[in-house]
Structure 1
Amino acid sequence: MSYYYRHNFSFSYHGLQRAKERLKLKDKKDYEVKEICLNHIRNSTKSFQDSRHVYISASNTNIYFVVEKNNNLIITVTEISAEKQWKMYGGSSW
């Protein structure tokens, strides 16, 4: 990856509102929330994907940014349990 490589993410209205709610940033302005989210994404070491979405951990917690692959749009921020992650990875239920 090049030094100048940088992801270009955009936020849906719903995604921005969920980021404020889930990351407890309700008192922040939209541009501050976006910058905090992008820092979480840059610092994350956990991610996985399905056919349409990429799931990126918010600083390695169970809270994930859900990003549409075709346009890099952050559509929501949600908590994903370990069980659901297992199913999304293709694991079978017991």
Structure 2
Amino acid sequence: MAKTLVEIKQGLEGNIGRRLRIKANDGRKKIVERCGVLAEMYPSVFIVELDQDENAFERVSYSYADILTETVELSFTEKLEAVSGEQ
């Protein structure tokens, strides 16, 4: 992905509201995968609203440095944000 924090922020700015899959290192060789929507961006962190049917909590935040150090990997999906209650 990008090589600097500025490039990472710029890459994420155009994707607010899009669905994504997060693959995060949770320590001790444990990898956690979550799905959600990129909701908000702040100077040091970004917020992801998680799918409620799969997760016990609503939101998670990660720093841009997590992406830079490859602690967190993001992959955006082609589908737009799903409307809840559609099923």
- What is the TM-score normalised by the length of structure 2? 0.33
Which of the pair has the greater relative contact order for Cα pairs under 8 Å at 6+ separation? Answer: 2
Structure number with the higher helix fraction is 1
